Structure 1
Amino acid sequence: MLYLAALLVALLGLAHSVLGERYILVRLFRRDLPKLFGGPDFTRRTLRFAWHLTTLLAWTLAALLVQIAGPHSPSSLAASIGWALLACGLLPLVITRGRHISWLVLFAAGALCLAWAAQ
């Protein structure tokens, strides 16, 4: 049951990114957007990374469900969360060129999870 749940969540994440990019974000970006921190480009980039962050987190949940279904330790679960947080931190770092500082928090939380898992 958990493997099926993981598959469903992973597919949901994939559909979220592909369909959201195609049918929501592209159309949204054609409109006038608020000029945050200097212009609409920052707003577009922030919306894009936030949208795809949801997909990464869905995939993380799917991976955790697979791990829970098998004989995995709490440290392996924490490591998976840590790596996912680091991957999530890359989105705002790259997409907003570091201007949205959420990457600092995501990197710190990911590093803490990985450090705990390594104990």
Structure 2
Amino acid sequence: MNFYFVAAAALALAIGVAHSWLGERYILMRLFRRQNIPHLFGSDVFTKRTLRFAWHLTTVAWLGAAALLLILSSFPLDSSARILSSAIAATFFASSVLALIGSRGRHLSWVVFLIIAGLVWMGIR
């Protein structure tokens, strides 16, 4: 069993759950109370649903990556598994860079994304 992949999957799961729960509680709910949300298709209902859908879709993607890492952790690394693992690591690395630059280092998700990328790369080696 590849414990680097298991650790990376656990972090991806944790950040996904935190993203959905904290985002819903502290960002989306406060945003939706505002009166100046753009009205698309006649009301703000579509806008709010789209924002909520897009927010939680990100979480689904992270949970999917965690599931793939758990599956990959149970099998020997062949060339296909290495390519898939490298793509997952590169995605989390890119997420880290974007979060670091976009928040100017204030949103600490970049640290978790970087750790996930590093764990996956270590698991490939």
- The TM-score with structure 2 as length reference comes to 0.56
Hey, what's the Cα distance between the residues in 1 that align with 2:12 and 2:42? 37
Hey, what's the Cα distance between the residues in 2 that align with 1:10 and 1:34? 32
- Match of residue 19 from structure 2: 16
Hey, what's the Cα distance between the residues in 1 that align with 2:73 and 2:47? 40
Q: Deviations over 1:8-30 (max 9, x none)?
A: 00010000000000000000111
Hey, what's the Cα distance between the residues in 2 that align with 1:52 and 1:17? 6
How is 1:1-119 mapped onto 2 (pairs within 5 angstroms)?
Answer: 1-31=4-34, 32-71=36-75
Hey, what's the Cα distance between the residues in 2 that align with 1:26 and 1:33? 12
- SS of residue in 1 equivalent to 2:67: helix
- Match of residue 106 from structure 1: none
- Look at both structures and tell me which one has the larger radius of gyration over its CA atoms: 2
Instruction: State percent identity of aligned pairs.
Output: 54
> What runs of 5+ residues in structure 2 fail to find an aligned partner?
81-125
- Match of residue 118 from structure 2: none
Instruction: Return the structure number with greater relative CO, CA threshold 8 A, min gap 6.
Output: 2
- SS of residue in 2 equivalent to 1:22: helix
- The TM-score with structure 1 as length reference comes to 0.59
Hey, what's the Cα distance between the residues in 2 that align with 1:11 and 1:71? 23
C-alpha RMSD of the superposition: 1.6
Count of residue pairs the alignment pairs up: 74
